[in-house]
Amino acid sequence: MQAQLTAKDIACRRGERLLFKGLSLACEAGDALHVAGANGVGKSSLIRILAGLLRPFTGEISTTGDIGLIDERLALDANQPLGRALAFWERLDGCSDSGRAFDLLQLDELLDIPVRYLSTGQKKRAALARLLNRNCPIWLLDEPLNGLDAQAQASVEALVAQHCAGGGIAVVASHQAIALPGGRTLAIEDFAA
Amino acid sequence: MSAAITLLRRDLGLLLPGGSGGGGVLPLLFFLAVAMLYPFAVGPDAQLLARTGGGVIWVAALLAAILPLEKLVASDLEAGVFDQLHLRGISEELAMMVRLAAHWLAFAPLLLLATLPAAALLGLTGETTRTVLLGLMAGTPGLAAVGLAVAALTAAMRGGAALAGLMVIPLAVPILIFGAGALGRPDPSALLLTASISLGLVALAPFAAAAAIRAARET
């Protein structure tokens, strides 16, 4: 089954404020979309709405395929060594070959270090490894470049390109420029209420 | 099913003494400390101690059950664990059922064990000790359930832990009344009522806690 992600006429309200309205998007297999905008315009809210974690104020979302999410929250146990913290998710995701993702993201040397000692960039790479190991068609990435050095940023762009080339979908919210296949951009400011 | 077992293993690893997420053995030490302090406070009258000791153990157990609540839900909620589980099709209800089982396993068996030295410190008779143990066995699942639901409700609040402690106390009163009430009766009716209250709370708590976690996403 082909992966698919569509949002129709979405509005998002946080508290008393309407952040955006009338936002529609459609992604087919192989599409990448850069959600751009300044801080506070609703990029993260849009990602969480697409993930089904937040109810849109109006509008509908429909997806075909499993969703993988990376946001600023790591969901790894801070006191456990990285290898063990990731192993829990590998067991849940039924992943038997985690070595490739660790290689790609240069995590091998960090596996024995407790998560709380990792730097921001290292934590981000750990979250990416979990995403890769899950092997799901729809990627929702919220500020994936935060805290990454130039080399790691390039490898994120390469991973997204590879994912889309393999028939995946990637929606990337980022206030920084990011090179995505197809170069589609959605500026949330255009839909500001 | 295998997802539930994977979750249970993680939760137990976090909550059992020595794990990183729970209160460890502190609730137990607190529980024993109350049993140790009580004779100092009321004096060494053996009859008085034996008559009131069972009730003291119950109050101590109730208060000890509050201690592990602080990290029971809040740290995972903050870390986004429930979001990641949701995306994997694991409902908040299932996650909370598993968490309830792990929470009970992490504190109740050790508490029952600690009841023996506590009973000795208070000079309880064998008969009374038995009734206390049976009562705690029937009542602790209910205490764990109330604790979980309240921990989930207060997880997204600042200073939620202290509030959780206060909220558990009135909700736990029925368990205390019947559980400690069994001490004064020769028949098992009070124990059965404690067990039935526990059962009802265990059945409801995962749904209340799951609703609280979903509501926390909207804030």
Are the Cβ atoms of A75 and B21 closer than 8 angstroms? no
Local confidence band at B163 (pLDDT 50, 70, 90 cut-offs): confident
CA distance B20 to chain A (A): 6
Q: With an 8 Å Cβ cutoff, are B3 and A66 in contact?
A: no
Under 8 Å CB-to-CB from B184, ≥6 apart: which residues?
none
- What tokens were used for B18? 């020595």
In the block, tokens 């995701």 appear at: A93
Is A77 close to B21, i.e. CB distance below 8 A? yes
Per-residue CA distances from B57 to A176, A189, B27, B119, B129 (Å): 60, 62, 13, 8, 10
On the question of pLDDT at B21 being above 60, the answer is: no
Q: Is the pLDDT of residue B210 over 60?
A: yes
Q: Does B51 touch chain A (CB under 8 A)?
A: no
**Closest residue by Cα to residue A160 from A5, A32, A20:** A32
Q: Does A49 touch chain B if contact means CB atoms closer than 8 Å?
A: no
Rg of chain B over Cα atoms, rounded to whole angstroms, equals 18
* Residues B179 and B190 sit within 8 Å (Cβ to Cβ): yes
* Most B-contacting residue of A80, A124, A130 (CB-CB within 10 A), to test interface: A80
Residue the block writes with tokens 């799901």 = A136
Query: Any chain B CB within 8 A of the CB of A23?
Result: no
Q: How far apart are CA B209 and CA A192, in angstroms?
A: 35
Please name the member of B20, B78, B83 whose beta carbon is closest to the beta carbon of A69.
B83
Selecting from B80, B87, B218 the residue whose C-beta is nearest the C-beta of A68 gives B87
Query: For residues B217 and B219, what is the distance between their CA atoms, to the nearest angstrom?
Result: 6
What pLDDT is attached to residue A2?
Answer: 85
Under-70 pLDDT residues of chain A: none
pLDDT for the residue numbered B209: 97
The pLDDT value recorded for residue B85 is: 96
* b/e code B62-92 from CB counts within 10 Å (16+ = b): bbbbbbbbbbbbbbbbebbbbbbbbbeebeb
The torsion angles phi and psi of A52, rounded to 5 degrees, stand at 85, 15
Q: For the residues B150-162, what does the mean pLDDT come to?
A: 87
Whether chain A has a CB inside 8 Å of the CB on B45: the answer is no
β-strand A58-64 against A4-14: which pairing, if any? antiparallel
Taking residues B26-46, what's their average pLDDT? 92
- Compute the CA torsion angle A57, A62, A68, A69 (nearest 10 deg): -20
ipTM greater than cut 0.90: yes
Q: Does A68 touch chain B (CB under 8 A)?
A: yes
Report the relative pairing of strands A67-70 and A169-173 from DSSP bridges.
unpaired
Q: What is the dihedral of CA A150, A155, A160, A165, to 10 degrees?
A: 130
Residue B142: predicted pLDDT: 97
Domain boundaries, chain B: 2-218
pLDDT of residue B25: 84
Tokens linked to A54: 């937040």
With CA atoms as reference, the chain B residue closest to A79 would be B20
Candidates A186, A159, A188, A184; CA nearest to A68 is A159
Q: Which residue of B has its CA nearest to A131?
A: B84
pLDDT tens digits for range B49-97: 999 999 999 999 999 988 888 889 999 999 999 999 999 999 999 999 9
Q: Is this structure's pTM higher than 0.90? A: yes
B90 touching A (Cβ < 8 Å): yes
User: A63-94, pLDDT tens digit by residue?
Assistant: 999 999 999 899 998 889 999 999 999 999 98
Report, in this order, helix, strand and coil percent for chain A, each rounded to 5.
35, 30, 35
- Residues B99 and B93: their CA atoms lie apart, in Å, by 10
Binary contact (B87, A88; C-beta < 8 A): no
User: Which residues in chain A touch residue B6, judged by CB atoms under 8 angstroms apart?
Assistant: 88, 91-92
Minimum distance, in Å, between the CA of residue A133 and any CA atom of chain B: 13
